[in-house]
Structure 1
């Protein structure tokens, strides 16, 4: 990512008047995008650059924690638009890092499916009558299995803990989702809001998962490399059907299931930074990605659903648990870091 270095007031005053104007002009013709793998491929970006006569700088993240760090570093000043799931969006709004959007200035919203076009019915997007993000893509976090090693598809999330698959399991390296995953596995009713008495049980269960896991991944491409090179049999698919598509392209015969307990599911949206240099350009970027071309790229190339056509991957009858804001993101992250480091439960709970 191209960093925009800070300029001291003394240096600015010593420069010619033309330089600040030039800097502002450069900013106005560069769109800085913070996003996830596959959301802004080079050819998709190139089309927008040609159409608008601008440059687009894309930075990619691999976890919600990294996204938060990048956006929070300079109050969002390094980016104009970013992709974020509906649950995480809430803390960006609370931290005043997000600008409001005018849905009327997004004509391609008319092409979205009704469930995504009615923003008031998508939890977290509208606050006090103001819109903060526009739905873009979604997936459930199911289970991927190697059909050669597991001819019968796993029907429960408990398979991730099954000692028969010790050293054959891949899991996502992220505290927020893994605490919710363990809560579901334990049958807790509120996976996003753990009570005081539930933390020890969930921590113990995640330590047990760590002992069963071959490795943890962050990016979808990394998960494919590990799955193919390390002989994994089962994977918790944080990126869902996107990982299925990548594994199939790599020649792996895989199955994909939503366990009987249900699956966590995310809805990623585009939001505009409060510090966007050119809000009009940022708005046009969001509207452009709702067009048929970028939407088809999501489906055909990335194996992800878009919000303008029925998903070939998503089962309408699947029991999904759409992500919600959790009780304490930082606490989950601290505890997860200690779990991955090999700490015992007492030290994890003291985090």
Structure 2
């Protein structure tokens, strides 16, 4: 993501992040499953200096991959994960995560009011995650091809751009975005007829799609090689990444709206050391970390409202924030069928 997200953290952040835990934790290891950019070296170093433990980072390219890895061993391979709000209903139902005791995470007090009562992560009165970052799934375009921003998702199906479009390899995001493009009012609770229409629409889109990508870096790399005009983006940070590679890229929120997301940290049901997992989350909620998220990546953060305003994250009213869909498994099966079907 900037890698999911490029943070340049200096020594100042290390000094700001709390005192070290007892030396007894020195040989411990925390296993983190997260997006690129959510565990950059300065953050990892800050956590390790704070706790005396080592962090083992595994990066993921999609929500589908996170579920596959977590369900394989009921979460026993990971201690903490980062995933967006719509996934928690399923995670809780499948007993893959455990409740978070916010009293043991002092920096939870830094959360902005909007992120203190996110109902999508509360089940039976228990909180299962802590909000960390937010943003959108916008449309990214090359300004050389579009002097005026495209105003509709329909451009992804325009034969003029055949072979010049990148699409995300993510079942739920692809289906929700297509539902928005088709004008469906509730993209999280689709009828059988709507599923059929979306399937046909996404198969038709394969005429314009050069490639599906997984992971921020993958999308940026393919786009930067040339011949791409449009991309269904994984998020705001891909714009500065592309600009650094010489692409005059910009993003837009189409008139139909776009997906909005809130990523949260959660503790795996299979965590070996819950206290160590809580220490990781506490480190991630330091205000300086939140500030850098916005200043260096363009994502919204959950601890510094001024930093959000400063980078222009003022389009939340155009976003449809992710909710748990009627059936993740149905959406994954449909997406696999779409990918396996030749273009029309």
**Fold in common (TM above 0.5):** yes
* TM-score normalised according to structure 1 size: 0.86
Contact conserved, 1:243 with 1:303, CA < 8 A, in 2?
Answer: no
Which range moved further: 102-111 or 263-272?
Answer: 102-111
Q: Does 1:292 align with 2:287?
A: yes
- Structure 1 stretches of 5 or more lacking a match? 1-24, 346-351
In structure 2, the CA distance between the partners of 1:333 and 1:83, relative to structure 1 (3 Å rule), is same
The Cα RMSD (Å) is 1.8
Larger-Rg structure: 1
In structure 2, the CA distance between the partners of 1:292 and 1:249, relative to structure 1 (3 Å rule), is farther
Distance 2:91 2:99 in 1: 12
Partner residue in 2 for 1:3: none
Q: CA deviation at 1:63?
A: 0.7
Contact conserved, 2:26 with 2:52, CA < 8 A, in 1?
Answer: no
Q: Does 1:77 align with 2:76?
A: yes
Contact conserved, 1:138 with 1:306, CA < 8 A, in 2?
Answer: yes
Q: CA deviation at 1:313?
A: 4.2
Higher relative contact order (CA 8 A, sep 6+): 2
Residue correspondence of structure 1 range 81-120 to structure 2 within 5 A: 81-117=80-116, 119=117
Partner residue in 2 for 1:139: 135
* Among 187, 198, 205, the residue aligned to 1:202: 198
Q: Does 1:261 align with 2:238?
A: no
* TM-score normalised according to structure 2 size: 0.88
Equivalent residue pairs, number: 317
* Among 231, 236, 240, the residue aligned to 1:245: 240
- Structure 2 stretches of 5 or more lacking a match? 1-23
In structure 2, the CA distance between the partners of 1:148 and 1:44, relative to structure 1 (3 Å rule), is same
Contact conserved, 1:38 with 1:298, CA < 8 A, in 2?
Answer: no
Q: CA deviation at 1:245?
A: 2.2
Partner residue in 2 for 1:164: 160
Partner residue in 2 for 1:184: 180
Partner residue in 1 for 2:53: 54
Contact conserved, 1:224 with 1:243, CA < 8 A, in 2?
Answer: yes
Residue correspondence of structure 1 range 9-28 to structure 2 within 5 A: none
Residue by residue, what CA displacement relative to the aligned partner does 1:50-97 show, whole Å, maximum 9, x if unpaired?
Answer: 121111101111011110011111111111110111101111100111
